[in-house]
Structure 1
Amino acid sequence: MNYTLICTDIDGTLLNADRYLSDATVSAFGNLPTDKAGANFPVVLASSRMPSAMHYLQKGLGIQNAPLIAYNGGLILGENGICIESNTMPLIVLEDLLTHHKKHTYNLSIYADDDWFTDQEDFWSLREINNTRVTPTYQEGSESYTFLKTNQRAPHKLMCMGDASEIDSIVSYLADRHDKEVHLYRSKDTYLEITPKYIDKAKALQILLEHSFDFGMDKVIAFGDNHNDEELLKHAGFGVAVANATDKLKAIANYTSAFKNKEDAVAKAIEEFVHL
């Protein structure tokens, strides 16, 4: 089948050891065919990241104005950043988490639209700055809560980073209180991402396709490495798991690359499966 759109995860899938785009990756995307009108081959980045943390990668790939899926499907932006759909969680989730946070030392990061708030510069926030090239607004969590409430806004994502035992306690605390409202996604022992309950990358891509394109999921080739890519690879026309992907994702995928993200897995699969 001829695939007509690429949808790819970023961290652990697209990026190299330097958390950026390798020359081979830039070349592979740059060589994608254009249509008869000269329009670029559609490429959609889909990530748990905020939009600003994706824009520099879009620029690196030459797709600055392309649609994107942020916060694992919580925020869907069409061409030129037009908001197609926004899914947030109730502010009470943040309010309850702030109560828990007062007794602990983990980093609490609050994401709403294209804003990132956290209360201190620490190991974790500096690491995220390095990984995403975005700088947060430093202020107390209670101040961020008041700001959002005053402006009738709510979080797209909450992220907790810290000692594994502290992350364990957050999972227990929130699961008891907000199981029907949020999804708790633990990408590693020290990271917990909290998002609205019923979102995922596949649902977001389907909405984007219906809004902006004239074809369906069967025309999509998708790439991923972790739990938050499972629905995407399951519903795409052709799902590719990189070599460093979870075993479950490899079982779901149509194809598992012999190469890791740091070995240009996406670039090599594009050259093999997308007709250039």
Structure 2
Amino acid sequence: MAMFCTDIDGTLLNPDRTLSPRTIDAVRAVRAAGHNFVLCSSRMPESMRILERLYDGADEPLIAYNGGLVLSRTGAVVHDIAIAPEHARKIAGYCAEFDLHASFFAGEAWHVWGEDQWTAREINNTGVSPHPMSSKEYVSSGRVEINPPHKIMCMGEQSLVDGIEALLIAEPGVVTYRSKDTYLEIANAACSKGLGVEAAAQELGYSKDDCYFFGDNYNDIPAFAAVGTSIAVANGKQAVLEAATITTSRHHDDGVAAYLESWLAAGSQLDA
């Protein structure tokens, strides 16, 4: 048996930002054959479950927040690396001073700065609704101490995002990732997709050689080191293409599905 693990954005989704019928069929076929299919993303758990429901895969572990939170098949927390509350407060302070949107993702909860264009865009992109408690109240109420964030996303004018990125360079406890000029994702420096994949593999009882990972971006490279076979989609960054064992088709050409179909077909031929 094998564990197939995949990044979502830029790797698994079609141009409509969902799963194509071909991908759904391929994932169902892999699971019907007794293998596991695990999602690994910077997204929050509920956003990932929306995709899981398309192929009836709610019984799989989830690797959320780039490996900062791993949930078991039953939803229990098996790996948890959150941002330290003092770092979260520092980020909130900067954002309050310069009116920069800051979304705080803590476990299953998404706290937003306010009802602005950035919140509306994320709702559209992920299909998830924010928690009634705002980011500002989440921090000021002390909730940040009890349930610290696994990810903070700062969104706004490029100059303001540049400022928070520069501020955090001197903070060894956090790592930043610039997905675009107006977006900055922040996480605990100790978390990685590689550690998340290892936690999921241990939960399911897989050895490294029986694990596969699909990715396209720099934060997928640590996951490549945690598996026996790493597969880059053809639209991936050059460093990702060079680090991968195999390259499949582009995400918009159903590259993950194409690989799964070929893998299953090869297994059937070997069994014949």
What TM-score do the two structures reach when normalised by structure 1? 0.91
The CA distance in 1 between the partners of 2:14 and 2:202, in whole Å, is 32
The CA distance in 1 between the partners of 2:246 and 2:204, in whole Å, is 27
More displaced 10-residue stretch of structure 1: 98-107 or 7-16: 98-107
The answer for the alignment partner of 1:59 in structure 2 is 53
Change (3 A) 1:121 1:33: closer
The answer for the alignment partner of 1:192 in structure 2 is 184
Deviation at 1:140, TM superposition (A): 4.5
Pair 1:98-2:92 in alignment: yes
The CA distance in 2 between the partners of 1:243 and 1:4, in whole Å, is 23
The answer for the alignment partner of 2:240 in structure 1 is 249
Pair 1:207-2:171 in alignment: no
Pair 1:111-2:124 in alignment: no
Q: Find the partner of 2:155 among 161, 173, 176.
A: 161
Change (3 A) 1:172 1:150: closer
Pair 1:268-2:235 in alignment: no
Deviation at 1:97, TM superposition (A): 1.0
Change (3 A) 1:105 1:151: closer
The CA distance in 1 between the partners of 2:55 and 2:30, in whole Å, is 11
The CA distance in 2 between the partners of 1:200 and 1:170, in whole Å, is 21
Aligned-residue sequence identity (percent) comes to 35
Pair 1:41-2:32 in alignment: no
Deviation at 1:230, TM superposition (A): 0.8
Q: Find the partner of 1:4 among 2, 5, 9.
A: 2
What is the one-letter code of the residue matched to 2:24? V
Change (3 A) 1:248 1:207: same
The CA distance in 2 between the partners of 1:251 and 1:221, in whole Å, is 16
The answer for the alignment partner of 1:26 in structure 2 is 24
Please tell me whether the aligned partners of residues 73 and 199 of structure 1 are also in contact (alpha carbons under 8 angstroms). yes
* Equivalent position SS for 2:8: coil
* Equivalent position SS for 1:235: coil
Please tell me whether the aligned partners of residues 3 and 201 of structure 2 are also in contact (alpha carbons under 8 angstroms). no
The CA distance in 2 between the partners of 1:4 and 1:150, in whole Å, is 38
* Equivalent position SS for 2:30: coil
Deviation at 1:148, TM superposition (A): 4.7
The CA distance in 1 between the partners of 2:177 and 2:29, in whole Å, is 35
Pair 1:224-2:215 in alignment: yes
The CA distance in 1 between the partners of 2:196 and 2:103, in whole Å, is 23
Q: Which runs of 4+ in 1 moved over 4 A?
A: none
What is the one-letter code of the residue matched to 2:9? D
The CA distance in 1 between the partners of 2:29 and 2:136, in whole Å, is 48
Please tell me whether the aligned partners of residues 175 and 186 of structure 2 are also in contact (alpha carbons under 8 angstroms). yes
The CA distance in 1 between the partners of 2:189 and 2:175, in whole Å, is 5
**Which structure 1 segments of 5+ residues have no match?**
none
The CA distance in 2 between the partners of 1:139 and 1:70, in whole Å, is 21
Deviation at 1:131, TM superposition (A): 1.0
Q: Find the partner of 2:139 among 137, 142, 145.
A: 145
What TM-score do the two structures reach when normalised by structure 2? 0.92
Deviation at 1:254, TM superposition (A): 0.8
The CA distance in 1 between the partners of 2:144 and 2:129, in whole Å, is 23
Deviation at 1:247, TM superposition (A): 0.7
What is the one-letter code of the residue matched to 1:266? V
CA-based RMSD of the aligned residues comes to: 1.7
